[in-house]
Amino acid sequence: MAGNRKNIFIREVGVIMKAKSKVNFIIDAIMFLNMMALAGTGFLNRFVLLSGKAARSVYGQKVQMTMLGLGKESWKDIHLYLGFLLLGLLVLHIVLHWQQIVLLYRRLIDTDKMRKVLLVVFVIVSILLVTFPFIFSPVVETGETLYQGRGRGF
């Protein structure tokens, strides 16, 4: 009787692990495709759909450039939404791998004090990287100082 329960438990754990592996694989595959789409839309915005000044120098006049019926601003929006999707998938990926992360962290960093210090630094840097566009104000240039001394204006 006890051996039968053990076999059922092992089978159930195996089914759960197999299902979890499938979910991880699907999330990782979607993350990879999302990253490729982010790269593609980034390259499209930077190198294909030229800005007004760059397009004018290539075509000799003001032109409106589109790809698949969408202009540069629409592709920038798509790029942003893909970034949000990747961020959400990354959070889900971390949640699903949390036990592995904790075990590796404990194994790699010996002392509790060092673990706590690194964790605090990591959290602070992460928060700053995500929030810096909302913390700092851009420099606004107008009139004569615009593009002064910067070559092509980059």
pLDDT at 37: 98
Bridge partner list, 66: 71
Distance CA 148, CA 109 (A): 50
Q: Quickly state the pLDDT bin for 29 (edges 50, 70, 90).
A: very high
This prediction has a pTM of 0.76
Residue 5 confidence (pLDDT) above 80: no
Which tops the pLDDT comparison, 153 or 78?
78
Q: Which distant-in-sequence residues (6+ apart) come within 8 Å of 86 by Cβ?
A: 31, 34, 35, 38
Domain limits, the chain: 1-82, 97-136
Give the tens place of pLDDT for each residue, 127-144.
999 999 999 998 888 876
What is the amino acid identity at position 21? Answer: S
Give the tens place of pLDDT for each residue, 72-123.
999 999 999 999 999 999 999 999 999 999 999 999 999 999 999 999 999 9
Residue 152 confidence (pLDDT) above 80: no
